[in-house]
Chains A and B, each alone.
Chain A
Amino acid sequence: GQQLNQSPQSMFIQEGEDVSMNCTSSSIFNTWLWYKQEPGEGPVLLIALYKAGELTSNGRLTAQFGITRKDSFLNISASIPSDVGIYFCAGQTSGTYKYIFGTGTRLKVLA
């Protein structure tokens, strides 16, 4: 099935560092969602974005809806060990209510 491109695929960072990841598509999206998933669990919603250029924060997490509507970015500031997991973006285009997911960014934090 169709999936969005996420980069990087994986990251190993030191505790306290900031993290940036992005998600790109060839299609225009009306909604972007960011999720975190831990092993054996379902994805947990972190941030939702609804307008081009929108910047939204949730604690140490900040996400942006790209101006072109074909990309989105997620930043995590001052990472901590519990940030470990796989981060997925998901986009929704007009004319459908299904979400297309990205390939995921696997984050590992070294204490």
Chain B
Amino acid sequence: DTGVSQDPRHKITKRGQNVTFRCDPISEHNRLYWYRQTLGQGPEFLTYFQNEAQLEKSRLLSDRFSAERPKGSFSTLEIQRTEQGDSAMYLCASSFRAQDTEAFFGQGTRLTVV
């Protein structure tokens, strides 16, 4: 297993378009997280799943954002009607349900809205 995989690595889109990102977690990990990171800031929590259940969502996740993890494996994050303020790095992380949890990140998807 090569770790958390995100696709695409880079996405440039026009304002108003919809975009979808994919995350494949480490295979035995049942928790999956989405974070957003803007320049000069630390990652900000968006949402997380335990298996297929979305257990927590941040207020940062507006109505234009939706995340799914239909079979408890890979996850998708969709942004509808993109705005310039959506430009950021979108990071996915996964962890294994246990008493001690360590979250491992993918390389991220860099979104630029023009």
Interface residues of A (CB under 8 A from B): 1, 3-4, 31, 33, 35, 40-45, 48, 50, 88, 90, 92, 96-104
Residue of A41, A97, A103 near B41 (CB, 8 A) is A103
CB-based contact A45/B103 at 8 Å: yes
Contact indicator B105/A104 (Cβ below 8 Å): no
Considering only CB atoms, which chain A residue lies closest to B36 in the complex? A1
Interface centre among B43, B60, B106 (most CB of A within 10 A): B43
Interface residues on B, range: 20 to 34
B33 at the binding interface (Cβ < 8 Å): yes
11 contacts between A and B (CB under 8 A): A3-B42, A42-B4, A45-B105, A48-B102, A88-B42, A97-B31, A97-B56, A97-B101, A98-B45, A101-B44, A104-B42
Across-interface contacts of A88 in B (CB, < 8 A)? 42-43
Docked complex Cα distance between A65 and B96 (Å): 21
How many Å lie between the Cα of A16 and that of B103 in the bound state? Answer: 30
Contacts of A97 in B (CB 8 A): 31, 48, 50, 55-56, 95, 101
